[in-house]
Amino acid sequence: MPTIEVNGLGIGYDRAGDGAGLVLVHGAASDARMWEPQLAGLADELTVVAWDEPGAGRSSDLPSNGFGLAGVADTLAGLIESLELAPAHVGGLSWGGVVALELYRRRPELVGSLILCGSYAGWKGSLPAAEIEARLVALSSQLEAPGEFEAKLPGLFAPDPSPEVVAEMERVMADARPETMRSNSATIAAADLREVLPGIAVPTLLIWGKQDLRSPPESVARQFHEAIPDSRLVLIADAGHVSNLERPELFNRTVRDFCRAHPLSS
């Protein structure tokens, strides 16, 4: 469980395997543990790195002022450079996909391909205003309640999910830091990266769970697929927002085939 200093912040990450770099960016209220099936399942062919973003897991707290999406993306860029993984396959789920898009916008030379899973072009860029407001109100109520924050988001899983998967995700989400959730929710709510999508010039894999209620495939996945020139959309049955956990074998096979089809050049 190594850590590295990036831009003055301690960043924790997990690393497994050897080969082309696959950098995985977790969603909100989560950390690198959400990528355990990918670290275990893809390390025979790729160098798989899953970080704890600033304010999560083993990493330092978020800086107090003005960090925002740009700060998270710049820190991710520093990690990729420090580990000498560029250009890398960069994958992000949900909020992590927003970070990956911002990384591409700011430092495209570090990104050999994109793997976006149940993501958004920011909430402002992908969701109706009423839905954004409802999410912010619900989160605020949770954060203001006494006791520890529990990030049990509605629509996270497909119907009748595996109890083991639910328990593992709840264990990870129970460690979310309220101050990070406040910052990230405000950031993603205001983010609008729609203008980035048509300018993406690297191969892009879009993976969505068919039962994803957080980032509905019929609207958001379609938005991405229509806007990104060289994109492939894969819908995973019997999966919701965290398809990498609900259907890890199919998810990993899809990622493996994509990375094989798009080898990276140093």
SS (H, E, C) 41-52: HHCCCEEEEEEC
CB contact at 8 A, 198 and 229: yes
Q: Give tens-digit pLDDT for 89-126.
A: 999 999 999 999 999 999 999 999 999 999 999 999 99
Secondary structure (3-state) at 193? coil
Residues 6+ apart with CB under 8 A from 95: 26, 27, 28, 120, 184, 188
Question: Residue 181 in contact with residue 29, Cβ under 8 Å?
Answer: yes
Q: With 80 as the cut, is the pLDDT of residue 240 above it?
A: yes
Separation between Cα atoms, residue 146 and residue 261, nearest integer Å? 50
Task: Reply yes or no on whether the pLDDT at 36 is more than 80.
Answer: yes
Is residue 165 within 8 A of residue 158, CB to CB? The reply is no
The answer to whether the CB of 242 falls within 8 A of the CB of 93 is yes
- Give me 243's structure tokens: 């398809």
CB-side neighbour CA atoms (13 Å) of 256 = 15
Query: Which residue has better confidence, 222 or 146?
Result: 222
Q: What is the percentage of the chain residues whose pLDDT exceeds 90?
A: 88
Q: Supply the pLDDT for residue 142.
A: 82
| Of the listed ranges 34-43, 140-149, 163-172, 175-184, the one predicted with least confidence | 140-149
CATH topology of domain 3-261: Rossmann fold (3.40.50)
pLDDT digits (tens, 9 = 90+) for 10-28: 999 999 999 999 999 999 9
What sections of 156-242 are H helices per DSSP?
Answer: 163-173, 178-190, 222-227
For residue 244, give the nearest of 211, 203, 207, 206 by alpha carbon: 207
Predicted local confidence at residue 63, as pLDDT: 92
Element (H, E) at 14: strand 9-16
